[in-house]
Amino acid sequence: MLNSVLFLAILFLSLLVFFIPGKFKYHFTLVLLLCGVVLTSVWSGMLLAGDDQVLEIPLFAPSAGSTFILTIDRLAAFFIIVVNITVLVGFLYARGYLAPYLKSKNALRFSIHYFSYLWLWLSMLMVVMIRDGLSFLIVWEIMALSSFFLVIFDAEERSILKTGISYLIQMHAGMFFILIAFLIVEKTTGRMSFDALGEYFTGNRNLPLFLLFFTGFAIKAGFIPLHTWLPEAHPAAPSHVSGVMSGVMIKMGIYGILRVIVSMQSDLLVTGIIILVISLISGVLGVMMAIMQKDLKRLLAYSTIENVGIIGAGIGLGVTGMALDSPALALLGFSGSLLHVLNHSLFKSLLFFNAGSVYQATHTRNLEQMGGLMKNMPSTALLFLAGSLAICGLPPFNGFISEYLIYMGMFQSLSGATLYHSIVVLGSVVGLSLIGGLAIFCFTRAFGVAFLGAPRSDKALHAREVSAGMTIPQYITVALILLIGLASPLVVKPVFEIVTRTFAIDDPVMVSGAFTANLAQISIMGGVFVVVLAGLLVYRRHHLSRRQVDTGPTWGCGYTAGTARQQYTATSFAYNYNHIAKPVLQTAKEMDEIKEEEIFPRRRSFISHSDDIIKKALIDRPLDWLAGILKRIAVMQTGQIQHYILYAFIFMLLVLLLSILKII
Amino acid sequence: MAGFILIVIAAFFVPGMILRTKSIASGRKGPGLFQPVKDIIVLLKKGSVFSTTTGLIFQIAPAVTLATVICAMLLLPFAEQKALLPFEGDFVLFAYLLALGKFFTIIAALDTGSSFEGMGASREALFSMLVEPAFFILLATFAMFTGYTSFSVIFNHFFVTGNDYVMIYSIIGVYLFIQIAMVETSRLPVDDPKTHLELTMIHEVMILDYSGFDKALIHIGTYLKFALYGSLIYNLIVPAGWNIFLQAGLFFAVQGFFAVVIGLTESFRARNKMNKNPKFILTLSAIAWIAFTVILILTDKLA
Amino acid sequence: MVNYLIVLFAITLMYFSSADRLITYVKLIAMQGLLLCGIAIFELKEVNTANLLFIVAETLIFKTILLPYLLNRIIRRSGVTKVHRLAMPGFYLLIFSIFGLLISVILANILVNPFINTIYLAIALFTLVTGLLLIVTHKLIISHLIGFLIIENAVFMFSLAAGNEMPMLINVGILLDIFVGVLILGFFGLRLKPHTNELAMLKD
């Protein structure tokens, strides 16, 4: 009872944001956010620590129609904690990020922004807590709308408004699929709810309904080929919003897929392999496209697609494990993907906040204009380095732990498998290792070109470190990342617990116990690494203090007029990669070739394109074709009122004719 | 513990043996067997010059690379003794630790703001990305064949049956490891350590700006990596159950054989054209797929 | 012992996709001829001696010595040393080759049959796929010829897969090599240049 009252209070108090005076808006929102975070985290913590199955909190239940009852089970509790962490850290970061906009935007814009932020967070919480179908769709819609308002914060630029509207349309396309799926469930079972799925799946074919749900949720999650909104919306949004969207809003799609899988009874093997194949393609293509980007935030958006591929690979393996009755594979696959959900929310939000700091300092997102930022912005650079190391899955950070769990799921299932399963698992091993290697390429490029070397433009030269209010939340995230990386059994044991309870995997004790021991060894290895590194660095300082140390310019091979333009740019770093990846990515260049007869070449321009091939094929071409047809029909729109009256008259004649012929 | 110490001892003479083999194959007498060790001692006595363009990353990268190699050494077993820190799936940690070292080497090269080092960094990033799948396919075939996922346990159970196909698999595995070792320690035919043309270097150009203590650390890391891969090759050839003193002797014999093979390959093979290198490295993955097919036959999954 | 030869055969097929010079192709064809001879000796011990002698002599003389020598003469005479491919980095040819191995393993598993030796079937299918890939992706006629030779090696492997019964059918199949020999002699006779792709363009 108390729980419902408190939650409803938070929901209604959010409206007060509009009435609080400008100076206190931020603080009021922060206080409200903190209260809500504490409340929901306490609920989750109580559920996870105890032994109950669910925690029910009725909000609003009329006698007929949809009900708003919050049902928290272990899976929901996990997602609640993931959402709370990133949203809170994001809002702490937002104070510093939004500070320059206080002068240019009026109080109403800020109210809308804070209100939308609160409602994005609340709707995400409610998405994981609501089971009833219609209420679920309502909060899903609220989530899409609130994120739309957040994305168009900077809507003075027309392109951002266009991007926001395109984003909204694509979100509705996704909702369309989920709605149809729910309607099918209602027609068969009479109830429109996730709980009715179990009943539906026992009686009917599982695969078609799963594919409908999967398509709808995959648009939200960002699997290829349904990812086309991601690389446009994330760069357009302000950075704290990008971090929250990429970190947790995407995971709502993953949550939906998991919720459907929990109820599935048959067709599991086909489902698992479909998810695995789509995820591996998403992972590889996502990072392949990320390497070719010049815009830092677009690069991070494509990298999100890659990580969603890794999460999906874990889910696919888990489902395959359930199908083949292999508890080790199921446990490791699902745990790896859930842990990667948490890990990705941490390091991707860190990277996006960091990109926001860089944007605020240099006013550009173009990698080719940055460089040498580490000298003026050391904190930001170190934080970006930590985020890059984590996202490449390198020890001793957290990305390694989740990728390790997924690898172990693959390796464990190899020895007993039949021929086809061996081939599928080996294919996924190759895919995952390729994704890891490409991610290292991508992030050495991003970090190296942006922060190291010499400044490539005036903007980078005049960059200054951002305020502490923006770096401290990032430090908090890094602390969490290191905690999970160095002390992983602490976090993974509860995740194992969640997975075994949710997916009803039996005989988990042997496997989860063995793997907690393995993770403890990894933690010890992490500790050993840190100690060895510290020892080497301390000895180095002592050694260098007793020797002569000079400085000088970089070796220029005898050329003494070195400039910053001599460095490798982001495009040149990816040049040899582009040579290999061109048939897949269709990067194009526009340049007038220099002919042999042209002894004194004229000025020329060089443009290289790396557009999203899937967006071109799925969205741009059909839209152009549609626009072509509409242009021809638009001839009818002459602007003269006589013609429109004529159209109405012809329509009446048509109706008369058809009713005489008894067609209508 | 014994394995760790043996690797360190082998690292003292393997680089010297490679140099000596190359010299003798060219008709010269060549430097002494411990010349690389003496070079490191000379480097340790010198001071350092740092570029004004570089920052923190340049300073800590050699130490990070050496720390990763040392930690990777903790994962390898010897004879029937387990490694110092064994656990299931430690080969994944092995591969990713070495990748961490490469990450730092690449960004340290970009830190100097020089076009040569950027070129080397770009090439190194691409080639190390391409060699990862070959390594992982090989490891997956290990796991599929023996049913275990830890280095220490795999090599104990490797030579159980005397089947024809096990010998083929062992030979392919040794060949692949030698090639992967040569790609990762930047030897011919992917990268020539003796070229002095910056446009043709990969690894050498990334460490162009290092001097004194840092350069010594890098060299120590490279020599330890040689011995590391030699130890892996040794484990693939010699069954784990033999007498331990015989095994210690065989260990040094295999490391010597590995050094001589590298030396001879470097003497008689030209460096690949730079844009043929991706294809060369992908060939390693192709051969690993053949090894996988051999294992499919071995484990009776295929017919 | 046979197993070593079979795996070595598969490795030579992989090297076809990564080789750069035509001379390497010729050397690989010669090596394949030698390997096939060895496999034939080990596998076909129960066939009557006259047949076995014929097969061994044919593989040794034709595939290992005569055809490579003729191909070598043509390549030297025309001065074409590098392989010219269609608009694709050689990288992707290797990836297709890997997929080819995968598909042949899967197919061999589907077509499992007590009368057929599955391993030979898998390798034979892989040989067929490699030969087809070579013909489809290369420009020069000489590469097409070599692809055709590889397909014939596939025919030989298929016959080995069918077990020890080796009726006259297989002998006739082997004589397909003589057919290719005629094609090559045509190069000499008509003084065709191997780097014309006029014969490959069917449209004006």
Asked if A567 reaches chain B (Cβ–Cβ under 8 Å), the answer is yes
How far CA A493 is from CA of A399, A516, A517, in Å, comes to 17, 7, 10
Q: What is the pLDDT of residue C170?
A: 65
Q: Which residue of B has its CA nearest to C126?
A: B290
Asked if C109 reaches chain B (Cβ–Cβ under 8 Å), the answer is yes
Question: How confident is the model over A267-274, as a mean pLDDT?
Answer: 89
Residue C131 has pLDDT above 80, yes or no: yes
Question: How far is the C-alpha of A350 from the C-alpha of A383, rounded, in Å?
Answer: 8
Question: How confident is the model over A93-101, as a mean pLDDT?
Answer: 89
Task: Kindly report, residue by residue over A587-612, the tens digit of the pLDDT.
Answer: 888 888 888 888 888 888 888 878 88
Task: Kindly report, residue by residue over A178-201, the tens digit of the pLDDT.
Answer: 999 999 998 888 888 888 888 888
Q: What is the pLDDT of residue C2?
A: 81
Q: Using the beta-carbon criterion (under 8 Å), do C102 and A583 form an inter-chain contact?
A: no
Question: How far is the C-alpha of B115 from the C-alpha of B96, rounded, in Å?
Answer: 28
Q: What is the pLDDT of residue A65?
A: 65
Q: Using the beta-carbon criterion (under 8 Å), do A583 and C106 form an inter-chain contact?
A: no
Residue A417 has pLDDT above 80, yes or no: no
Q: What is the pLDDT of residue B271?
A: 85
Q: Using the beta-carbon criterion (under 8 Å), do A419 and B302 form an inter-chain contact?
A: yes
Q: Using the beta-carbon criterion (under 8 Å), do B147 and A415 form an inter-chain contact?
A: yes
Q: What is the pLDDT of residue A632?
A: 92
Residue B164 has pLDDT above 80, yes or no: no
What 3-state DSSP class applies to C83? coil
Question: How confident is the model over B134-145, as a mean pLDDT?
Answer: 89
pLDDT range class, residue C181, cuts 50, 70, 90: confident
Q: What is the pLDDT of residue A508?
A: 62
Question: How confident is the model over A626-634, as a mean pLDDT?
Answer: 92
Task: Kindly report, residue by residue over B283-293, the tens digit of the pLDDT.
Answer: 999 999 988 88
Return contacts of A114-118, CB within 8 angstroms, 24+ apart.
A114/A17, A114/A25, A114/A26, A114/A29, A115/A14, A115/A15, A115/A17, A115/A18, A116/A146, A116/A147, A116/A149, A116/A150, A117/A29, A117/A91, A117/A146, A117/A150, A117/A241, A117/A244, A118/A14, A118/A17, A118/A29, A118/A32, A118/A33
Ranked by mean pLDDT, the top range of A53-62, A472-481, B168-177 is A472-481
Q: What is the pLDDT of residue A510?
A: 76
Question: How far is the C-alpha of A24 from the C-alpha of A20, rounded, in Å?
Answer: 7
Residues in chain B with CB shorter than 8 Å from the CB of C3 are 164-165, 168
Residue C167 lies in a domain: yes
Q: Shortest CB distance from B286 goes to which of C4, C14, C108?
A: C14
Question: How far is the C-alpha of B81 from the C-alpha of C79, rounded, in Å?
Answer: 59
Question: For residues A344 and C186, which has the higher predicted lDDT (pLDDT)?
Answer: A344
Q: What is the pLDDT of residue C169?
A: 61
pLDDT range class, residue C168, cuts 50, 70, 90: low
Q: Using the beta-carbon criterion (under 8 Å), do A583 and C109 form an inter-chain contact?
A: no
Q: What is the pLDDT of residue A631?
A: 92
Element (H, E) at A552: strand A549-552
Mean pLDDT (chain C) is 80
Smallest CA–CA distance, residue C179 to chain B, in Å, is 32
Q: Note the Cα A541 to chain centre separation in Å.
A: 41
Q: Give the contacts of C155 (CB within 8 A, at least 6 positions apart).
A: C173, C176
Q: What is the pLDDT of residue C190?
A: 64
Question: How confident is the model over A163-191, as a mean pLDDT?
Answer: 91
pTM comes to 0.91
Question: How far is the C-alpha of B194 from the C-alpha of B267, rounded, in Å?
Answer: 11
Question: How far is the C-alpha of A197 from the C-alpha of A347, rounded, in Å?
Answer: 34
Q: What is the pLDDT of residue A299?
A: 94
Chains that touch C (3 or more CB pairs under 8 A): A, B
Task: Kindly report, residue by residue over A491-502, the tens digit of the pLDDT.
Answer: 888 898 888 888
Residue keyed to tokens 């996988």: B292
How far CA A542 is from CA of A16, A538, B213, in Å, comes to 60, 6, 11
Chains that touch A (3 or more CB pairs under 8 A): B, C
Return contacts of C46-51, CB within 8 angstroms, 24+ apart.
C46/C164, C47/C164, C47/C166, C51/C166, C51/C171
Quote the domain boundaries for residue C112: 2-190
Question: How far is the C-alpha of C8 from the C-alpha of C21, rounded, in Å?
Answer: 20
Element (H, E) at A549: strand A549-552
Element (H, E) at A60: strand A55-60
Residue C170 lies in a domain: yes
Percentage of residues in chain A with pLDDT exceeding 70?
A: 98
Q: What is the pLDDT of residue A559?
A: 77
Q: What is the pLDDT of residue B90?
A: 87
Task: Name the nearest CA neighbour of C22 among C183, C145, C148.
Answer: C145
Task: Name the nearest CA neighbour of A356 among A620, A562, A96, A131.
Answer: A96
A363-393 burial, b if ≥16 CB within 10 A, otherwise e? ebbebbbbbbbbbbbebbbbbbbbbbbbbbb
Question: For residues B174 and B163, which has the higher predicted lDDT (pLDDT)?
Answer: B174
pLDDT range class, residue A392, cuts 50, 70, 90: very high
pLDDT range class, residue A19, cuts 50, 70, 90: confident
Question: How confident is the model over A213-219, as a mean pLDDT?
Answer: 94
Q: What is the pLDDT of residue B160?
A: 59
Identity of the residue numbered A346: L
Question: How far is the C-alpha of A501 from the C-alpha of B219, rounded, in Å?
Answer: 51
Question: How confident is the model over A562-577, as a mean pLDDT?
Answer: 86
Task: Name the nearest CA neighbour of A168 among A184, A147, A182.
Answer: A147
Question: How confident is the model over A271-297, as a mean pLDDT?
Answer: 93
Q: What is the pLDDT of residue C189?
A: 62
Domain ranges of chain A: 612-664
Domain ranges of chain B: 2-298
**In DSSP terms, which residues pair with A56 in a beta bridge?**
A71
Question: How confident is the model over C52-63, as a mean pLDDT?
Answer: 80
Q: Shortest CB distance from C109 goes to which of A419, A579, A583?
A: A419
A367 neighbors A300 (Cβ within 8 angstroms): no
Task: Name the nearest CA neighbour of C12 among C111, C162, C146.
Answer: C146
Q: Which residue of C has its CA nearest to B296?
A: C105
Task: Kindly report, residue by residue over A316-375, the tens digit of the pLDDT.
Answer: 999 988 888 888 888 899 999 999 999 999 999 999 999 999 999 998 889 989 888 998
Q: What is the pLDDT of residue A248?
A: 94
Q: Shortest CB distance from C94 goes to which of B279, B290, B302?
A: B279
Residue C31 lies in a domain: yes
Q: What is the pLDDT of residue C203?
A: 55
Residues in chain B with CB shorter than 8 Å from the CB of A374 are 55-57
Q: What is the pLDDT of residue A547?
A: 86
Chains that touch B (3 or more CB pairs under 8 A): A, C
pLDDT range class, residue C164, cuts 50, 70, 90: low
Q: What is the pLDDT of residue B246?
A: 85
C28 neighbors C35 (Cβ within 8 angstroms): no
Residues in chain A with CB shorter than 8 Å from the CB of C91 are 580
Task: Name the nearest CA neighbour of A280 among A434, A459, A389, A412.
Answer: A434
Residues in chain B with CB shorter than 8 Å from the CB of A514 are 88
Question: For residues C159 and A402, which has the higher predicted lDDT (pLDDT)?
Answer: A402
Question: How far is the C-alpha of A411 from the C-alpha of B88, rounded, in Å?
Answer: 10
Question: How confident is the model over A553-573, as a mean pLDDT?
Answer: 82
A503 neighbors B71 (Cβ within 8 angstroms): no
Q: What is the pLDDT of residue C50?
A: 76
Number of domains chain C is built from: 1
ipTM of the assembly? 0.94
Q: Is the dihedral of CA A285, A286, A288, A289 positive or negative?
A: positive
Q: What is the pLDDT of residue B78?
A: 84
Residue B22 has pLDDT above 80, yes or no: yes
Q: Using the beta-carbon criterion (under 8 Å), do C89 and B279 form an inter-chain contact?
A: yes
B173 neighbors B234 (Cβ within 8 angstroms): no
- What are the phi and psi torsion angles at B194 (to 5°)? -105, 5
Q: What is the pLDDT of residue C204?
A: 55
> Of the ranges A159-168, A365-374, B157-166, which one carries the lowest mean pLDDT score?
B157-166
Q: Which residue of A has its CA nearest to C90?
A: A580
Q: Which residue of A has its CA nearest to C88?
A: A583
> Of the ranges A78-82, B299-303, C180-184, which one carries the lowest mean pLDDT score?
B299-303
State the count of interchain CB pairs (< 8 A) between A and B: 254
Residue C195 lies in a domain: no
A81 neighbors A44 (Cβ within 8 angstroms): yes
- What are the phi and psi torsion angles at B146 (to 5°)? -90, -20
| Cβ neighbours around A591 below 10 Å, total | 10
Q: If you write DSSP's letter for every residue of A214-260 in order, what string do you get? A: HHHHHHHHT-TTS-TTHHHHHHHS-HHHHHHIIIIIHHHHHHHHHHH
Q: Using the beta-carbon criterion (under 8 Å), do C106 and A419 form an inter-chain contact?
A: yes
Which positions 67-86 of B are in contact with A (Cβ < 8 Å)?
Answer: 67-68, 70-71, 74, 85-86
